[in-house]
Chain A
Amino acid sequence: MIGIVDYGLGNLTSVAGAVAKLGFKPDVTSDAARLEAADKLILPGVGAFTDGMANLQARGLIDILNDLVVKRRKPILGICLGFQLLGQSSSEFGDTAGLGWIDAPVTRLQPEDASLRVPHVGWNDLSQTRPACVLFDGIEDGALFYFVHSYRMETPPDGSEIGTCDYGGAFTAAVQKGNVFGTQFHPEKSQQAGLTLLANYLEKA
C-alpha cells in the first residue's frame, strides 16, 4: 500500500492513477493509522506553499509526518509543491516555515533571461548531479520531465541535491536525503521517464 497524503491540494487523482498503473495500491488519505500502515508515502500537491503548510497543520499531518518520516524512517516522495514543502521555508506570500527535512529555502524563480516566462511550464531536461541515486535507474541523463512552478528550492548545502534543471539558471529539481525523496517536476505526468522514476521509488527506495 502506498499512502498518498491528502491535504486538500492538488492532483491526487493523477498520482494515484500512476501508482495504480505501476501495479501498486494507492491509498489517498489524511488518516494517521492508514498513513502508518502504508509501506511508502507520497506527498503530492500543487498550489501555494502557505496553503500547503496550513492544510497539513489543520489536518494534524505535520506531527504525523514527522513521526513517520523522521523517527520511523518511512520513505516519502514529495512532488512539486510536496517537494517544496520538504524545505525549510518559503518566501511565497510572506515567510512560511516548511517541514524542514531538506535544509534549503524556497524562493521565487527568477530566470536571468528576462524573456523567459514564469511560471516555468513544460518539458525540460533533468541533469543528474547524483546519477547513482536509485530514482534514476534506467533513466538517461538529460531525460525530459514535465515542470510547472513559479518557485524553486535553493541548492541544499548538505549535498542532498540529485538533479538540476536549467531555466535561465540552474535550480535544484530533485533531492534525496536518506528516506526523503523529492522532485520539482511531475513524474506522474512525464510519460515513460516519469513512470520509470516513480517505479524506481516504489520498488527500490
Chain B
Amino acid sequence: MLRNRLITVLTFNGGTLFRTKLFEPDYRYTHNFVDSWSVDEIVMLDVTRDPGADKSAFYEVVTQFAKECFVPLAVGGGIRNMDDVRAMMAAGGDKVVVNSGAVERPEFITEIAEAYGRQCVVLSIDARKSDDLEGGYEVFSHFAARPTGKTPAGWAAEGEQLGAGEIMITSVERDGSLQGYDIPLCRQVSDAVTLPVLGMAGAGNWKHFVEGVEQGGLSAVCTQNIYHFTETSIASAKKFMEKKGIPVRL
C-alpha cells in the first residue's frame, strides 16, 4: 500500500539554513540526518529575496547535501528558466519546485515537463484568504506579495493540464502558526486535481498531520519548522499517524 509521506522543507537564505525561530545557522541538522531519520522526502528552497543575488551558495549547499541524500530531493526558489532548472538538477535535485516562475509564464511548467518528465515538476501554490474569489482563497506569487486573481483550485487544475506532477499548497496565513493546515484550502486543491497534493504551513502537532491526510486529502504532509524535529520526533509523528490508521513508512 502506498504510504502517506512526511516531508521536511528546509529554507535557505544566501546559502544559509534559515529558521524563523532560531537565528544562528546550524548545519548539524543537514548533515546525515536523512539516513538516520525516517523522513520520506526533502524539499530545499532558496528564499533569498534579492533577485540579483548569487545563487551559487545555494547550489553548493544542494550539491553537498545531495551527496548524502538517499531519499527524493526537491529543490526550488527563484526558478525562472530552463538554465535554472538544469542547474538545480545538476546540483542533485530529483524534482524542481516552481512558483512565481510558473505564474509569470504558465507554459514554463510544460517546458520542464517535456525536458524532464512531469514527475519532475512540483507546482507550489501560495494562497491567502480572499473575500472576492470563489472558494474564498486567492493565489499570491513573489513571496506571497503579489495577487494573481487565480483561485488555488483553478491554478492547480491548470497546472495539472500544463504538465505538473505534484501540487504543493501553502497557506500564507498559517505559515508559522502551528495551528494546523488550512483544511478547506487543502481539500479544494486535492479535489481539483488527480495529482498527489503536498500540504504545507501550520503543522504544530501530530494530529495536524492526520487531519491533513484524512480531511485535507493530502498525499504528503510537509513541515518547515525543523527546530522541533529531533530524531525521535519524526518517528514519533509517524507512529502517531499509524495508530490513527494512516499508512506511513516507519
Contact = CB atoms under 8 A, between A and B. Distances in A.
B94 A189 contact: yes
B244 interface: no
Interface stretch (A117-125, A131-139, A175-183): A117-125
A122 B220 contact: yes
A122 B119 CA distance: 11
Interface residues of A, number: 40
Contact of A119 (B71, B73, B92, B195): B195
A167 B1 CA distance: 7
Contacts of A123: 2-3, 5, 40, 249
Between A123, A124, A150, A195, the greatest number of chain B beta carbons within 10 A of the residue's beta carbon is seen for: A123
A149 B196 contact: no
A124 B66 contact: no
Interface string A185-205: 010111110110000000000
Interface in B64-103: 66-68, 70-73, 89-94
Contacts of B249: 123, 144
A22 to B, nearest CB: 11
B25 interface: no
A78 B116 CA distance: 17
Interface string B6-35: 000000000000000000000000000011
A141 interface: no
B116 A9 contact: yes
A40 B220 CA distance: 36
Residue of A20, A51, A148 ringed by the most chain B CB atoms within 10 A: A148
B94 A11 contact: yes
A83 interface: no
A14 B117 contact: no
A60 interface: no
A73 B212 CA distance: 50
Given A121-B166, A123-B3, A149 B71 contact: no
A26 to B, nearest CB: 12
B219 A119 contact: no
CB-based closest 7 A-B pairs: A47-B117, A123-B249, A148-B119, A123-B3, A13-B92, A46-B117, A124-B2
Interface of A: 9-11, 13-14, 17-18, 20-21, 46-48, 51, 81, 116-125, 144, 146-150, 166-167, 186, 188-192, 194-195
Given A46-B117, A121-B119, A147-B2, 16 more contacts: A9-B116, A9-B117, A11-B93, A13-B66, A13-B90, A14-B73, A14-B94, A46-B119, A47-B117, A121-B165, A122-B4, A148-B119, A166-B1, A189-B70, A190-B71, A192-B35
